[in-house]
Amino acid sequence: MPTAFITGITGQDGAYLSRLLLGKGYRVVGLLRRSASSDVVGERLRWLGVLDQVELVDGNLTDLSSLIRILQACRPDEVYNLAAQSFVMSSWQQPLLTGTVTGLGCANLLEAVRIAAPETRFYQASSSEMFGKIQEERQSERTPFYPRSPYGAAKLYAHWMTVNYRESFGLHASSGILFNHESPLRGIEFVTRKITDGVARIKLGLARELSLGNMNARRDWGHAADFVDAMWRMLQQDKADDYVVGTGRTVTILDFCRLAFGYAGLNYEDHVVTRQDLMRPAEVEVLQADATKARERLGWQATVTLEQLAAEMVEADLARHRRRARD
Residue type, 250: T
Q: Which of 78, 129, 182, 312 is catalytic?
A: 129
Exposure letters 145-160 (e unless 16+ CB within 10 A, then b): bebbbbbbbbbbbbbb
Q: Which of 66, 86, 91, 127 is catalytic?
A: 127
User: Considering only CA atoms, which of 11, 15, 25 is closest in space to residue 45?
Assistant: 15
User: Considering only CA atoms, which of 83, 131, 119, 128 is closest in space to residue 103?
Assistant: 83
255: which residues sit within 8 A by CB, 6+ positions away?
none
User: Does residue 80 have an active-site annotation?
Assistant: no
Residue type, 113: V
**Partners of 274 in the β-ladder:** 212
Task: Provide the 3-class DSSP secondary structure of residue 222.
Answer: strand
User: Considering only CA atoms, which of 274, 259, 254 is closest in space to residue 199?
Assistant: 259
Specify the length of the chain in residues.
Answer: 327
Residue type, 201: R
User: Does residue 174 have an active-site annotation?
Assistant: no
User: Does residue 285 have an active-site annotation?
Assistant: no
Q: Which of 26, 80, 151, 243 is catalytic?
A: 151
User: Considering only CA atoms, which of 218, 127, 143 is closest in space to residue 181?
Assistant: 127
Q: Which residues are catalytic?
A: 127, 129, 151
